[in-house]
């Protein structure tokens, strides 16, 4: 299997696996819920002394437990996002390398055509295939960079 095709298959499988996670679909609602829970804890604190200490403690404990669970899940999701972002970085590096190799291959084709190794028909056919691969790599690179930006945006909200 040629190197270029291996890169292509790796890129496809990772994108399919992670595409649903990229936009923060899972973590944004958790962050919103954490914010609401913190606000409710502040409100609970303001009710201290207005209700029996036992009731106050029970309600406060309940919301502290919820907050703890939310923080644990947010940390887990953030860890997954960081791993995905790192996977994207690796894929971008590989795709950029494949793009570079494709450009060199296209240059080589031009030289070989110029010295008569290929007919014009062969040159056009092979050149078109190589250019399509290069464009595919560039398209994937652009897509992964956009996904990395989205992940970094979501992760920056956690700090």
Per-residue confidence in pLDDT tens, the chain, 159 aa = 444 443 334 334 444 444 434 445 678 888 899 999 999 999 999 989 999 999 999 999 999 999 999 999 999 988 988 999 999 999 999 999 999 999 999 999 999 999 999 999 999 999 999 999 999 999 999 999 999 998 888 888 776
φ/ψ of residue 91, rounded to 5: -65, -40
Q: Establish if 20 belongs to a structural domain.
A: no
The answer to whether the beta carbons of residues 156 and 93 sit under 8 Å apart is no
Q: Establish if 52 belongs to a structural domain.
A: yes
- d(Cα 117, Cα 145) in Å, to the nearest integer? 38
Q: Establish if 133 belongs to a structural domain.
A: yes
Provide the domain count of the chain: 1
User: What are 48's strand-pairing partners?
Assistant: 51
3-state secondary structure of 48: strand
Q: Establish if 76 belongs to a structural domain.
A: yes
Which structural domain, as residue segments, surrounds residue 67? 3-13+25-156
Q: Establish if 99 belongs to a structural domain.
A: yes
pTM of the model: 0.64
Q: Establish if 19 belongs to a structural domain.
A: no
Q: Establish if 29 belongs to a structural domain.
A: yes
A 10 A CB-CB count for 74 gives: 17
């Amino acid at each position: 299997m040629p190197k270029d095709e291996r890169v292509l298959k790796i890129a496809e499988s990772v994108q399919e696996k992670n595409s649903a996670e990229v936009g923060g679909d899972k973590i944004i609602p958790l962050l919103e819920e954490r914010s609401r829970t913190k606000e409710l804890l502040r409100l609970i604190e303001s009710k201290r002394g207005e209700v029996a200490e036992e009731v106050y403690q029970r309600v406060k404990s309940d919301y502290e437990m919820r907050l703890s669970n939310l923080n644990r899940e947010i940390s887990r999701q953030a860890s997954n996002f960081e791993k995905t972002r790192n996977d994207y970085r690796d894929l971008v590096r590989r795709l950029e390398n494949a793009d570079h190799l494709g450009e060199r291959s296209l240059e080589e084709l031009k030289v070989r055509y110029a010295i008569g190794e290929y007919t014009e028909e062969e040159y056009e056919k092979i050149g078109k295939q190589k250019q399509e691969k290069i464009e595919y790599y560039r398209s994937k690179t652009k897509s992964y960079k956009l996904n990395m930006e989205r992940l970094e945006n979501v992760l920056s909200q956690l700090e």
